Amino acid sequence: MAKICMNETCQSTTTFEWKKGWGLKSGGFAILCYKCGSSYENSVYCETFHGKESGWRDCKLCGKRIHCGCIASKYLHEYLDFGGVGCISCAKSLETRPIRPIQSSYNLFPQIPNDDVPNGFSPLTANNISGLRSSFFENTMGGNNTMGGNSIDQRKLMKLSKSPDTKEVAHFPQSQRTECNASNEKIKREEMTGFSDLLQRSARSSIFAKPENSGPILGPKDMYESLSRRFTNFPLGTPLDTPNPLLSSPSGVVEGREQNKTPPFQQGQRTRHILPKPPKTGPTIGSEANNATVSQTRVARPPAEGRGRHQLLPRYWPRITDQELQQISGDLNSTVVPLFEKVLSASDAGRIGRLVLPKACAEAYFPPISSSEGLPIIIQDVKGKEWTFQFRFWPNNNSRMYVLEGVTPCIQNMQLQAGDTVIFSRIDPGGKLVIGFRKSSNSDMQDSQTSSLNNGAPSEETSHGANENPATDGGGTNEESLQRPLLIPEKKRSRNIGSKSKRLRMHSEDAMELRLTWAEAQELLRPPPSVRPTIVMIEDQEFEEYDEPPVFGKRTMFTARASGEQEQWAQCDSCSKWRRLPVDVLLPPKWTCVDNVWDSSRSSCSAPDEKSPKELESLLGIGKEVKKRRIRESPTLTEEPEPSGLDALATAAVLGDDAVDAEDPSAETTTKHPRHRSGCTCIVCIQPPSGKGRHKSTCICNVCLTVRRRFKTLMLRRKKREAEIADTRGKEPVLPTEDDSEPVITSEEDRRRNRVPNDGGGESSNGGLDLNCDPNREDDMVVEAAGLSMTGLIHAANFPVHLKENGNGKSDVGPCLLLQAAGESEDCPPDEGHGCVSSLVEEKEKDGDEGN
DNA sequence: AGCTTGCATGTAACG
DNA sequence: GTTACATGCAAGCTG
């Protein structure tokens, strides 16, 4: 079926081909001129014939084949008054009524702008397109060259005016009437919505229109650009949601009363809705709209066939650059038709390997499937590799849920993750599906989305594999500015990337590492600068509340000297040397030797290390594999060499001063409590660093007084216990002493008392405190804990909660211990199961008080 | 036990 | 209120 190329400068009569691919829904087709390369695909989706295997029907009058769902077919068929459809020629010959002159700018043929629309359109592209249109129609009409552009418009108008009014419909059998009405309404509705879609899209895409005409080759892209320019020339402010009764309102079709009341021109004026709504789209819309100003992204190319009832949501409109198109097409003889795109959800990118397809997209661009088993589909990636997916659906709420199964290899091959975007395109001729992608700029989805939204910076680094060229021909417009994503509610922007935190779950190994370092990150939290906390009292406890989120400070190491004195060490960001700091110093995220105002001799990177590397490594536990080893060996984060202030407290509470004085970095506690883990968000653990500088050794606050009082009780109890031990010494074969480096354990009781590691007590090794142990069995242990010094206890308690330590992931224990040691057992109620020392202390204190 | 599969359900967007 | 869709979940399957 030879056609004449619509390209005026080509007008080849022999090189057109109808291309009918399965990506072309409902008998759609694409036209390709092999001479000039112009490609025109069916752009007006005809829902009337949707589902028909063939897009062709027979004219009821002459039997001529009528195509639907294509550029031409809109004008190749008419709904006949007596039912059915007829070819345009027959319909015209039957037409007896005068054509209502609708001068509306509403263009039934939005893909081919109408020069006759009196809206002050610039003729910039009209000449080209009108010529194309003319020749196209002349040829698609079977060589009837008598039909010029006006004729086409007349036909359009005729088609519009052919909407059967009530009288006419009333003569039909009910079935036909219904069908006819439905058909007309459907078409009109889809045209209307398609138009509004186009308006919205064009408002955005206009910013990408090339300033110069693209020359004789006018492909779909150029057509859309031209359209964009044209449609953005619409006067603004006319609401679209005031439908033209002739065009879209059912009342206009069925009731028909209002049709003639309004002058057609006014109808047209009314119909126009130029100012699109702010895009209620997913995050990529907004972000990419911003990016579009610099990335030449072709925003929102209208989905060709995905119209009608299942018109695509804006978030699925493909945005693609020329480079990407070219990369996909690979050669000049093929045309890439972007179909739709989708931001990968967590489940899409997960291991299940199921990519949920938007229903409208699936039904528009994928082959129709009747059984849930679906069909295998071969989709080519941008590298040319072909992937076979299973395209299928599930019944869902009287609807369907379309999925592509088996996408995991492809997703992984493209190294995509949740938040990235896959773009489905079609290569014409051939109808081959292509899957491209666009990576989110940030592996963290939220960051990427919000950052791009906030500052308008490019959020996409690659698309379809590569898009490195900044925009050269794009430019912001007023329309574009109107579309700024700032107008988009955050709630809607966040769609598709997981408004729920659970959508952000990551299950990769990387994520595991992130989880492990979460505790470390928590330790770096600092109160927001220049923000005064609000002190709230919760069960007689003071808690600081900050309106601003905490900030990250520089990670430091805490060590304990032989004297029990705590030290803080920080590593210079410049020279990586470790500098000793006062223990109560909070460092900013960036810190160098120059900032070391506490030690002038080492306030320069040129100053040598205070300790030898070996000493430092031993002291601070720094080494290459420390972190990895920690992750690898201890999923519970129990192995940590450096005692922190709170760790020292815990250690001291168990082992007494000797444990601290030993300056054994391996003295450690455990965080292995089931309810009080790293990242715990309970009121205790979220308490910001509140203790800083508050509790001096001379402090007489209630907390410190309570600590002292309780410690006194502990000491008394210890003496009492020692007396008991002395009494029973003769009965026990071996008794552990404080001086015994390797106490001989004679019973499980004593083993527990002395916290000597048993066979299975990894967490309790080295005298650590196992918070998981049964509190009821800890009594004696706590009694033994009375061996610590008051100063050590107070000193340890003085450490701010979040400064307590050294990045060993034990932040969860610290606050609990500190508060509990300070006598605030209420903060770790038994039902919370914190198993805190303090609660044990409390118990024993009671006992002791009673005993005393 | 881990994986796959099919369906159910909750939620957000849309009309 | 309806629809679309992300994801949970249980039953079945497989090694």
pLDDT digits (tens, 9 = 90+) for A188-203: 333 333 333 333 333 3
- CA/C1' separation A392–C9 (Å): 21
pLDDT for position A270: 31
Mean pLDDT of A745-752: 37
Q: Could you tell me which residues are beta bridge partners of residue A78?
A: A86
Tell me how crowded residue A296 is: count the other CB atoms within 10 A of its CB: 22
Where is pLDDT greater, at A196 or A551?
A551
Q: Is the dihedral of CA A767, A773, A774, A775 positive or negative?
A: positive
Tell me which protein residue sits closest to nucleotide B5, measuring alpha carbon to C1'.
A352
Predicted confidence band of residue A127 (pLDDT cuts 50, 70, 90): very low
The tokens describing A572, both together, are 């210079």
- CA/C1' separation A635–B2 (Å): 21
Backbone angles phi, psi at A795, to 5 degrees: -60, -45
pLDDT tens readout for residues A409-429: 888 888 887 788 888 888 776
pLDDT at A840 over 70: no
pLDDT at A800 over 60: no
Distance of CA A220 to the CA centre of its chain: 31
Predicted confidence band of residue A608 (pLDDT cuts 50, 70, 90): confident
Strands A375-381 and A432-440: parallel
Looking across all nucleic acid strands, the nucleotide with the smallest C1' to CA distance from residue A396 is: B7
Could you tell me if A410 and A434 are in contact, meaning their C-beta atoms sit under 8 angstroms apart? no
Please tell me the pTM assigned to this model.
Answer: 0.31
pLDDT for position A115: 31
Contact between the CB of A765 and strand C at under 7 Å: no
3-state helix, strand, coil in chain A (%, to 5): 40, 15, 50
Predicted confidence band of residue A430 (pLDDT cuts 50, 70, 90): confident
pLDDT tens readout for residues A437-455: 887 765 433 333 333 323 3
Residue where the block lists tokens 């009528």: A66
pLDDT at A593 over 80: yes
In 3D, which of A852, A802, A845 has the Cα closest to residue A822? A845
Q: For chain A, give the percent of residues with pLDDT over 70.
A: 21
- CA/C1' separation A352–B4 (Å): 8
pLDDT at A372 over 70: yes
Mean pLDDT of A596-624: 77
pLDDT for position A531: 65
Strands A354-357 and A335-343: unpaired
> At A398, which amino acid appears?
N
Does a cis peptide bond (omega within 30 degrees of 0) precede residue A367? no
In 3D, which of A398, A309, A400, A319 has the Cα closest to residue A362? A400
DSSP for A647-670, written as a single string: HHHHHHHHH-HHHHHTT-TT----
Predicted confidence band of residue A575 (pLDDT cuts 50, 70, 90): confident
Looking across all nucleic acid strands, the nucleotide with the smallest C1' to CA distance from residue A344 is: C6
- CA/C1' separation A596–B12 (Å): 52
Contact between the CB of A446 and strand C at under 7 Å: no
- Lowest pLDDT segment from A96-110, A716-730, A746-760: A96-110
- CA/C1' separation A503–C13 (Å): 28
Highest average pLDDT, of A44-53, A221-230, A842-851, comes from A842-851
Where is pLDDT greater, at A200 or A364?
A364
Where is pLDDT greater, at A381 or A527?
A381
DSSP single-letter state for residue A25: G
Mean pLDDT of A317-322: 63
Mean pLDDT of A772-794: 36
Kindly give the residue spans of alpha helices, DSSP state H, lying in A263-415.
264-271, 283-295, 322-329, 346-349, 359-365, 408-413
pLDDT tens readout for residues A459-514: 333 344 333 333 333 333 333 333 333 333 333 333 333 333 333 333 333 444 44
Looking across all nucleic acid strands, the nucleotide with the smallest C1' to CA distance from residue A357 is: C5
pLDDT for position A534: 72
Q: Which nucleotides of B are covered by protein (CB under 7 A)?
A: 4-14
pLDDT for position A178: 36
pLDDT for position A395: 80
pLDDT for position A301: 38
Q: Is the dihedral of CA A538, A540, A544, A547 positive or negative?
A: positive
Where is pLDDT greater, at A406 or A146?
A406
Contact between the CB of A67 and strand C at under 7 Å: no
Contact between the CB of A397 and strand C at under 7 Å: yes
Contact between the CB of A91 and strand C at under 7 Å: no
Backbone angles phi, psi at A391, to 5 degrees: -95, 115
pLDDT for position A189: 37
Q: Could you tell me which residues are beta bridge partners of residue A402?
A: A357, A393
pLDDT at A794 over 60: no
Mean pLDDT of A825-831: 36
Mean pLDDT for chain A overall = 48
Contact between the CB of A347 and strand C at under 7 Å: yes
Separation in Å, CA A672 to CA A656, A658, A763, A805: 21, 24, 8, 17
Mean pLDDT of A754-780: 34
pLDDT for position A348: 85
pLDDT tens readout for residues A51-82: 333 344 555 566 555 544 333 333 344 445 45
Q: What's the CA gap between A637 and A242, in Å, rounded? A: 64
- CA/C1' separation A492–C5 (Å): 14
Q: What's the CA gap between A432 and A380, in Å, rounded? A: 8
Looking across all nucleic acid strands, the nucleotide with the smallest C1' to CA distance from residue A505 is: C7
- CA/C1' separation A356–C7 (Å): 11
- CA/C1' separation A757–B1 (Å): 33
- CA/C1' separation A401–C1 (Å): 20
DSSP single-letter state for residue A612: -
Highest average pLDDT, of A394-403, A535-544, A658-667, A775-784, comes from A394-403
Tell me how crowded residue A591 is: count the other CB atoms within 10 A of its CB: 21
pLDDT at A825 over 70: no
Q: What's the CA gap between A178 and A322, in Å, rounded? A: 45
Where is pLDDT greater, at A407 or A621?
A407
Predicted confidence band of residue A318 (pLDDT cuts 50, 70, 90): low
Q: What's the CA gap between A495 and A450, in Å, rounded? A: 12
Mean pLDDT of A567-595: 82
Looking across all nucleic acid strands, the nucleotide with the smallest C1' to CA distance from residue A355 is: C6
pLDDT for position A363: 79
Contact between the CB of A503 and strand C at under 7 Å: yes
Mean pLDDT of A239-265: 31
Could you tell me if A164 and A21 are in contact, meaning their C-beta atoms sit under 8 angstroms apart? no
- CA/C1' separation A461–C13 (Å): 42
Q: Could you tell me which residues are beta bridge partners of residue A460?
A: A440
pLDDT at A590 over 50: yes
- CA/C1' separation A188–C4 (Å): 24
Looking across all nucleic acid strands, the nucleotide with the smallest C1' to CA distance from residue A494 is: B12
> At A808, which amino acid appears?
N
pLDDT at A757 over 50: no
- CA/C1' separation A394–C7 (Å): 14
Kindly give the residue spans of alpha helices, DSSP state H, lying in A232-376.
250, 264-271, 283-295, 322-329, 346-349, 359-365
- Residues facing strand B, Cβ within 7 A: A 280-281, 313-315, 351-354, 372, 394-397, 401, 405, 491-492, 494-495, 499-500
Separation in Å, CA A165 to CA A176, A181, A184: 14, 9, 11
pLDDT for position A410: 84
Q: What's the CA gap between A804 and A796, in Å, rounded? A: 8
Looking across all nucleic acid strands, the nucleotide with the smallest C1' to CA distance from residue A356 is: C5
Q: What's the CA gap between A573 and A629, in Å, rounded? A: 23
Q: Which nucleotides of C are covered by protein (CB under 7 A)?
A: 3-8
The tokens describing A102, both together, are 């609708």
Per-residue b or e along A771-809, where b marks 16 or more CB atoms closer than 10 Å to that residue's CB: bbbebeebeebbbbbbbbbeebbbbbbbbbbbbbbbbbb
Highest average pLDDT, of A279-293, A519-533, A654-668, comes from A519-533
Could you tell me if A234 and A273 are in contact, meaning their C-beta atoms sit under 8 angstroms apart? no
Q: What's the CA gap between A80 and A566, in Å, rounded? A: 94
DSSP for A402-465, written as a single string: EEEES-HHHHHHTT--BTBEEEEEEEETTTEEEEEEEEESSSSHHHHHHHHHHH----EEEETT
Highest average pLDDT, of A113-117, A293-297, A401-405, A805-809, comes from A401-405
Strand C proximal residues, A:302-341, Cβ < 7 Å? 310, 313, 316
**What's the longest Cα–Cα distance across chain A?**
125
The tokens describing A503, both together, are 């959508």
DSSP single-letter state for residue A71: T
pLDDT at A333 over 60: yes
pLDDT for position A692: 37
pLDDT for position A538: 60
In 3D, which of A835, A796, A766, A818 has the Cα closest to residue A644? A796
pLDDT at A126 over 50: no
Contacts of A127 (CB under 8 A, 6+ apart): none
Predicted confidence band of residue A334 (pLDDT cuts 50, 70, 90): low
- CA/C1' separation A351–B2 (Å): 13
* The length of chain A, given as a count of residues: 852
- Between vectors from CA A615 to CA A613 and to CA A617, what angle results, nearest 5°? 65
Tell me which protein residue sits closest to nucleotide B12, measuring alpha carbon to C1'.
A495
- CA/C1' separation A394–B9 (Å): 14
Tell me how crowded residue A388 is: count the other CB atoms within 10 A of its CB: 11
Separation in Å, CA A431 to CA A20, A165, A348, A740: 8, 40, 25, 82
Predicted confidence band of residue A379 (pLDDT cuts 50, 70, 90): confident
- CA/C1' separation A513–C11 (Å): 33
pLDDT at A396 over 60: yes
pLDDT for position A462: 38
Mean pLDDT of A585-603: 83
pLDDT at A436 over 60: yes
- CA/C1' separation A809–C15 (Å): 38
